[in-house]
Structure 1
Amino acid sequence: MARNIGAACRRCRREGLKLYLKGDRCYSDKCSYERRAFGPGQHGQARFKKLSNYAVQLREKQKVKAMYGMLEGQFKLNFQKADRQKGVTGENLLVMLERRLDNTVFRLGFAASRNQARQLVRHKHILVNGRKVDIPSFLVSVNDIITLKEKSRANSAINENLEAVARRGIPSWIELDKDNFKATIKAMPNREEITMPIQEQLIVELYSK
């Protein structure tokens, strides 16, 4: 399966925003974006002319792609599905991205980053309704029960992540039973709980050209 293996911190600096791609490092003084809050490369600190409308829309799409760890083909497919649904396309897209299993595992605190969450899913550490699911793009639904495999519950990294999850908070659409390594999907994600500065309408305008 194709994946982006480029330097994560460069992506944050390219978008001019901390995307929290490296877990605990992003909250520490080791964060590259905090130390060098300018674009990567030899011209990163140079001043550029005002971006065109297309460039602004493109950067917004690239930012959201990087945030959720997706490639162009995957992201476009999700947009097309969101566009076919009833309601506001941009909000449909963000809700669909939030419902991805790798994002859900990250949100409930089993992993420190979405990349780490994707690894847990691919290595079959995660059960959905008692069954192993190793597809990161699997969409969770209301009343789904997400649990950690019995043999994985002694993993020190996962336990440390669960202790640290209070720092970023757990969204209200997930109910976490930390002691039993179990979470229940209480409702669909809503736009108000996606607190990262995302302007989804720019993505809709880009794909509508």
Structure 2
Amino acid sequence: MARYTGPSCRLCRRQNMELFLKGERCYTDKCAIKRRNYPPGQHGQGRAKVSDYGVQLREKQKVRRIYGILEKQFRTYFDKADRMKGVTGENLLILLERRLDNLVYRLGFASSRIEARQLVKHGHFTLNGRKVNIPSILVKTGDVIELKEKSRKITRITDSLDGVVRRGIPQWLDLDKDAFKGVLKSLPVREDITMPIQEQLIVELYSK
């Protein structure tokens, strides 16, 4: 399966904002944005004029990189959101938030979505008591995500759970830290997604 294998910090610098792609490192002074707050490349510090199309494209790329999704799958999510009732842009963000790897990250079992995707692929979690290894599964209201018994001593997971206070648990999720279990209490609404995303720009881009 195709995936991005380049340097993660380069993506943050290209977007000129922290995308928190490297977990705890993003909260330290080693963060690339704090050290070199300009776009990567030979002409990164030069001035560049950006067209309306460029602004829309950059917004789409930002959301793709936040959730770690390639173009074909992202377009599939957009088409599904467009067919749903309601506002297309908001539907898109809610679909992305419902991904299993995103919820593993949101619940604090992983320090980044990249790490969460790896943990899911390696079969460390169950969904409603059943083994799952597909990060893109869309979780439904009331579904239970639980860490397997044999995986509860993995240091990277326990360290991430100990540091989850820094990020906080969204109010639409419920974490039982002692039982290594989380529940999707309700679907998120637009106000719950606090990341600086202008989803309308993505709708305008795909509507051309």
What TM-score range do you get, normalising by the shorter chain? over 0.9
Provide the C-alpha distance between the structure 2 equivalents of 1:12 and 1:195, rounded to a whole number of angstroms: 18
User: After superposition, where does 1:18-167 map in structure 2 within 5 Å?
Assistant: 18-49=18-49, 51-167=50-166
SS in 2 for 1:11: helix
Q: Give the residue type in structure 2 aligned to 1:16.
A: N
Q: Give the superposed CA RMSD.
A: 0.6
Q: Give the residue type in structure 2 aligned to 1:162.
A: L
Q: TM-score, normalised by structure 1?
A: 0.98
By how many angstroms is 1:193 displaced? 1.4
Q: TM-score, normalised by structure 2?
A: 0.99
Provide the C-alpha distance between the structure 1 equivalents of 2:39 and 2:89, rounded to a whole number of angstroms: 27
By how many angstroms is 1:52 displaced? 0.9
Provide the C-alpha distance between the structure 2 equivalents of 1:67 and 1:199, rounded to a whole number of angstroms: 13
SS in 1 for 2:163: helix
Provide the C-alpha distance between the structure 2 equivalents of 1:46 and 1:98, rounded to a whole number of angstroms: 35
By how many angstroms is 1:191 displaced? 1.0
Provide the C-alpha distance between the structure 2 equivalents of 1:19 and 1:97, rounded to a whole number of angstroms: 15
Q: Give the residue type in structure 2 aligned to 1:203.
A: I
Task: Summarize deviations over 1:140-168 as a string: whole Å, max 9, x none.
Answer: 11110100011000111100000101101
Provide the C-alpha distance between the structure 2 equivalents of 1:166 and 1:135, rounded to a whole number of angstroms: 27
Instruction: Name the residue aligned to 1:3.
Output: 3
Matched positions, count? 208
Provide the C-alpha distance between the structure 1 equivalents of 2:195 and 2:14, rounded to a whole number of angstroms: 16
Provide the C-alpha distance between the structure 2 equivalents of 1:56 and 1:166, rounded to a whole number of angstroms: 34
By how many angstroms is 1:33 displaced? 1.1
Task: Summarize deviations over 1:123-180 as a string: whole Å, max 9, x none.
Answer: 0001000001111110011110100011000111100000101101110111000001
Identity of aligned residues (%): 65
By how many angstroms is 1:6 displaced? 1.4
Q: Give the residue type in structure 2 aligned to 1:64.
A: V
By how many angstroms is 1:3 displaced? 1.1
Task: Summarize deviations over 1:49-69 as a string: whole Å, max 9, x none.
Answer: 2x1110000000000000000
User: After superposition, where does 1:182-193 map in structure 2 within 5 Å?
Assistant: 182-193=181-192
